[in-house]
């Protein structure tokens, strides 16, 4: 069951990404040659107008083919015949649509379940928070300059910034803000250093509050992706901690099995929460300046906009080819790790 749900969920997210490219291409009068879901040989397809819509054999990935690599094609409706700003909007639309989809998921989740506030429920004995005078009812506003809006923000920052201590915590009490320096402490029986506070009261906002906290929840997932990538680059986590398609299937199966006893609504909301992570992750990663991905293409387009002159296609092509090769190597390593985790 897990593999079917994972394919459907991932396919929907990929389609939404490619839909962003497609709609902005059409809005800018750019011809789209092929809109596909999956990779490899074509299983079924139909040409509608100038575009061939199809489903391919391997159910991972997708494409909106606009001839962007054919730099010699300057015919009417071709990608490269359009202004640099039109091309930037088309390339950026994919990851932006992923972030929009993630926000829609977040709004639905906040509307259905509410959100966990940053109000402290209890302060534990023996920890730095108690010594610094924090009390139940205080509302945490910032940690080391990063705004926190939901309790998951607090948990994420302490998890991904273990060395940035002591934490400068800004909290509010009776309408007045105070600052405390809190050093996580590991007491007997603890598995890791703790702040010594617990919190997370469920709040149910109104309509506009749901829109707002949907954005805060999206912001959390964007921070999650960025912080995870930073920890990977700095060596705080290794490649063995990454997951690819096999790992995603395993997680989806676990999410489904744990939510199934609670009923269909819980299954849908749980899978939507994981879909939020996937869509936000795809959006953020595709905005980073990584060759062969949308962000890498945006870098060259921005350089063109600043210089008012295109980067030589052969040089750009070499960079994207090298980036693609490295991504394929990384994918193989990640899939190998995923498979090894099964045994």
**Cα–Cα dist 292/208, whole Å:** 39
Are residue 240 and residue 296 in the same domain, yes or no? yes
Are residue 103 and residue 241 in the same domain, yes or no? yes
CATH of the domain at 196: 2.30.42.10
Are residue 300 and residue 195 in the same domain, yes or no? no
pLDDT of 334 strictly over 90: no
pLDDT digits (tens, 9 = 90+) for 252-262: 888 989 999 99
185-to-125, 143, 313 alpha-carbon distances in Å? 11, 16, 55
Residue 186 lies in a domain: yes
**Contact partners, residue 220, CB within 8 Å, separation at least 6:** 150, 152, 153, 156
Does the active-site annotation cover 76?
no
Helix (H) or strand (E) run with residue 252 in it: helix 245-259
Q: Which domain holds residue 104?
A: 98-114+205-343
pLDDT of 124 strictly over 90: yes
Are residue 220 and residue 290 in the same domain, yes or no? yes
pLDDT digits (tens, 9 = 90+) for 5-32: 888 898 899 999 999 999 999 999 999 9
Are residue 222 and residue 337 in the same domain, yes or no? yes
pLDDT at 180: 96
Residue 217 lies in a domain: yes
pLDDT of 151 strictly over 90: yes
pLDDT at 244: 74
**Contact partners, residue 5, CB within 8 Å, separation at least 6:** 252, 253, 256, 271
Question: How many independent structural domains does the chain possess?
Answer: 2
pLDDT of 39 strictly over 90: no
Are residue 141 and residue 163 in the same domain, yes or no? yes
- Assign 47 a pLDDT band (cuts: 50, 70, 90): very high
Are residue 338 and residue 251 in the same domain, yes or no? yes
221-to-94, 164, 214, 257 alpha-carbon distances in Å? 18, 20, 11, 23
pLDDT at 265: 93
Residue 74 lies in a domain: no
Average pLDDT (106-134) is 95
Q: Going by DSSP bridges, is the β-strand pair 167-173/139-143 parallel, antiparallel, or unpaired?
A: antiparallel
Catalytic residue, from 18, 68, 142, 152: name it. 18
pLDDT at 340: 74
pLDDT of 2 strictly over 80: no
- Say which range, 135-149, 215-229, 313-327, has the weakest mean pLDDT: 313-327
Are residue 249 and residue 260 in the same domain, yes or no? yes
Are residue 184 and residue 142 in the same domain, yes or no? yes
- Say which range, 112-121, 161-170, 248-257, 263-272, has the weakest mean pLDDT: 248-257
Are residue 340 and residue 235 in the same domain, yes or no? yes
pLDDT of 245 strictly over 80: no
Average pLDDT (290-308) is 94
pLDDT at 143: 97
pLDDT digits (tens, 9 = 90+) for 51-97: 999 999 887 788 999 988 787 778 889 999 999 999 999 999 999 99
pLDDT digits (tens, 9 = 90+) for 267-297: 999 999 999 999 999 999 999 999 989 999 9
Share of the chain above pLDDT 70, in %: 98
Helix (H) or strand (E) run with residue 171 in it: strand 167-173
Are residue 193 and residue 227 in the same domain, yes or no? no
pLDDT of 183 strictly over 80: yes
Give the residue from 167, 186, 203 where a domain finishes.
Answer: 203
pLDDT, the chain, mean: 91
Residue 23 lies in a domain: no
Average pLDDT (138-166) is 95
Are residue 108 and residue 133 in the same domain, yes or no? no
């Amino acid at each position: 069951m897990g593999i079917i749900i994972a394919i459907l969920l991932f396919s929907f997210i990929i389609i939404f990404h490619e839909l962003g490219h497609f709609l902005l291409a059409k809005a800018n009068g750019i011809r789209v040659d092929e809109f596909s879901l999956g990779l490899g040989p074509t299983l079924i397809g139909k040409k509608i107008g100038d575009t061939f819509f199809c489903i391919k054999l391997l159910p991972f990935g997708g494409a909106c083919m606009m001839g962007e690599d054919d730099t010699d094609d300057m015919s009417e409706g071709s990608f490269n015949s359009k202004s640099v700003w039109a091309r930037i909007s088309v390339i950026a639309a994919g990851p932006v649509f992923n972030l929009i989809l993630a926000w829609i998921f977040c709004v639905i989740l906040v509307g259905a379940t509410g959100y966990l506030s940053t109000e402290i429920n209890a302060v534990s004995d023996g920890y730095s928070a108690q010594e610094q005078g924090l009390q139940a009812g205080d509302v945490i506003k910032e940690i080391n300059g990063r705004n926190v809006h939901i309790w998951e923000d607090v948990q994420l920052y302490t998890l991904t910034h273990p060395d940035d201590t002591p934490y400068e915590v800004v909290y509010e009490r009776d309408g007045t803000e105070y600052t405390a320096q809190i050093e996580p402490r590991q007491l007997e029986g603890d598995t890791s250093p703790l702040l010594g506070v617990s919190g997370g009261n469920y709040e149910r906002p109104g309509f506009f509050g749901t829109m707002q906290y949907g954005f805060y929840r999206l912001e959390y997932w964007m921070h999650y992706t960025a912080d995870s990538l930073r920890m990977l680059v700095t060596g705080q986590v290794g490649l063995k901690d990454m997951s690819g398609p096999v790992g995603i299937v395993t997680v989806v199966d676990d999410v489904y099995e744990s939510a199934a006893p609670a009923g269909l609504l819980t299954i849908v909301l749980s899978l939507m929460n994981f879909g939020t992570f996937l869509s936000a992750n795809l959006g953020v990663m595709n905005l980073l300046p990584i060759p062969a991905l949308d962000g890498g293409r945006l870098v060259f387009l921005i350089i063109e906009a600043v210089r008012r002159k295109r980067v030589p296609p052969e040089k750009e092509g070499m960079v994207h080819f090298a980036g693609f090769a490295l991504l394929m190597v990384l994918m193989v390593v990640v899939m190998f790790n995923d498979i090894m985790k099964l045994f």
